[in-house]
């Protein structure tokens, strides 16, 4: 089963920084082997890296990767949940102190339901630049890669670079964008996602790869041929 996009991404808004929670509605399709990805920017670097729970429909989500690189704008987080309930339910993010929570989400089908993520990486630009490319090595064949890129550039959100599709963005401040490769990585190996901003800023990224539910390749079965048994023929012996 190949991985495919389900809900192509939403902006969940933000809490204005004066509370320690944010809830937003997300609609999951009726898909096989679903995966919910929630990304968000949290407190400023040097502040509180203090996420306590992330849930969807009351079910706890798991941290895949986070960006904590000094010099960047805000902590970035990628959480995931296999087999999320279909329909519209709430994502609820709780943190330990009052600070901004700026969040979004997207969902996929055809994802392996255990042993995820396949691989992760996080990093930031070396100084102020307009582009950041995150690269990891996928382990399983036919993975998809997803990432959150973040920074602050005069309320401009990050755009997708080569080989990258943006699914959602922070519409208020442009602090984050949710991206994926929009195709399977095959064979397994190096995979990159790239985000760009109009102006040079410190950009941070946190990226994960997710393996497909099952291998999509099936070996063709050739038609059975009548066996050639001629070489088993024994000479008749006359006695």
**Is residue 71 close enough to count as binding another protein by CB under 8 A?**
no
**Is residue 99 close enough to count as binding another protein by CB under 8 A?**
yes
**Is residue 62 close enough to count as binding another protein by CB under 8 A?**
no
- Between 88 and 113, name the residue whose CB sits nearer to another protein: 88
CB of 11 to another protein, least distance (A): 4
> At which residue do the structure tokens 């100084």 appear?
127
Of 7, 55, 73, 196, the one binding another protein by CB under 8 A: 73
**Is residue 16 close enough to count as binding another protein by CB under 8 A?**
yes
Of 5, 6, 7, 22, the one binding another protein by CB under 8 A: 22
For residue 89, give both structure tokens: 């339910």
CB 210 within 8 A of CB 113: no
Residue-by-residue DSSP string for 145-181: EEEEEE--STTPPPEE-TT-EEEEE-TTT--EEEEE-
Q: To the nearest 10°, the Cα dihedral for 120, 126, 130, 136?
A: -20
Number of residues counted as binding another protein (CB under 8 A): 33
Of 3, 10, 202, 203, the one binding another protein by CB under 8 A: 10
What CA–CA distances, in Å, run from 206 to 31, 57, 74, 155? Answer: 26, 25, 12, 20
CB of 162 to another protein, least distance (A): 25
**Is residue 44 close enough to count as binding another protein by CB under 8 A?**
yes
CB of 168 to another protein, least distance (A): 9
Of 52, 88, 113, 137, the one binding another protein by CB under 8 A: 88
Judged by CB under 8 A, the chain residues 180 through 239 that form the site for another protein are none
Count of H-run helices and E-run strands, the chain: 0, 18
**Is residue 171 close enough to count as binding another protein by CB under 8 A?**
yes
For another protein, the binding residues (CB under 8 A) are 10-19, 21-25, 41, 44, 73-74, 88, 90, 98-100, 102, 152, 154-155, 171-175
């Amino acid at each position: 089963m190949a991985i495919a996009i389900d809900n192509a991404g939403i902006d969940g808004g933000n809490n204005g920084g004066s509370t320690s929670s944010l809830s937003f509605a997300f609609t999951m399709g009726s898909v096989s082997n679903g995966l919910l990805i929630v990304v968000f920017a949290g407190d400023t670097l040097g502040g509180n890296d203090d996420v306590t729970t992330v849930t969807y429909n009351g079910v706890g989500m798991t941290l895949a990767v986070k960006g904590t690189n000094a010099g960047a704008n805000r902590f970035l987080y990628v959480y995931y949940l296999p087999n999320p309930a279909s329909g519209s339910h709430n994502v609820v993010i709780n943190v330990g102190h009052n600070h901004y929570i700026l969040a979004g989400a997207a969902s996929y089908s055809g994802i392996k339901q255990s042993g995820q993520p396949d691989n992760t990486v996080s990093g930031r630009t070396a100084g102020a630049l307009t582009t950041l490319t995150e690269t990891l090595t996928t382990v399983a064949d036919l993975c998809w890669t997803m990432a959150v890129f973040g920074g602050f550039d005069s309320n401009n959100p990050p755009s997708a670079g080569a080989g990258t599709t943006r699914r959602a963005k922070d519409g208020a401040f442009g602090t984050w964008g949710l991206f994926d490769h929009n195709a399977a990585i095959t064979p397994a190996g190096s995979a990159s996602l790239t985000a760009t901003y109009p102006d040079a800023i410190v950009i941070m990224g946190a990226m994960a790869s997710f393996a497909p539910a099952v291998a999509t390749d099936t070996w063709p079965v050739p038609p059975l041929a009548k066996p050639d048994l001629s070489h088993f023929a024994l000479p008749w012996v006359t006695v």
